[in-house]
Amino acid sequence: MLFDAGTWSLITDVLAAVFILAGAFLTFAAGIGALRFPSLLARMHAVTKPQVLGLILLLIGLSLRVRSWSAVAMLALVVAFQLLTAPVGAHLVSRAGFRTGKVDESELQPNQMEPDDDEHTA
């Protein structure tokens, strides 16, 4: 053993605190982004990336604190769900936004969302 049990406990607690703080910060930044960004799609970015990682970091922090395998298994499941569902949800919402004309396309520079755009084959 490198350290005794008490030291290990301290180390994991400090790590957990770091993870929880980072996760909470990212969630907060996602909130700011969701409120501040000017368009639907930009907000979607804020809600997918920092939010997913923020949640993952919070859950890692939690699993470092509780240290029970059954809890870690369930938390791993939550992380997997988040990683799978967040992009799908973001895609569905932004596609719906485009198809119902809720996206202000004049702000997109460049906007290659044209059906007859041949440039991409280059």
Instruction: Give the helix/strand (H/E) hosting 10.
Output: helix 5-36
- Work out whether 5 is an interface residue with other proteins (CB under 8 A): no
Residue listed under structure tokens 């509780």: 66
Cβ proximity of 69 and 34 under 8 Å? no
Please report how close the Cβ of residue 2 comes to other proteins at its closest, in angstroms.
23
Query: Phi/psi of residue 49, each to 5°?
Result: -70, -60
By the rule CB under 8 A, 101 interacts with other proteins: yes
Residue that the structure tokens 């791993």 belong to: 76
Question: According to the binding rule CB under 8 A, does residue 39 interact with other proteins?
Answer: yes
Give min distance, CB of 4 to other proteins, in A.
20
The answer to whether 15 contacts other proteins (rule: CB under 8 A) is no
| Nearer CB in complex with other proteins: 11/13 | 13
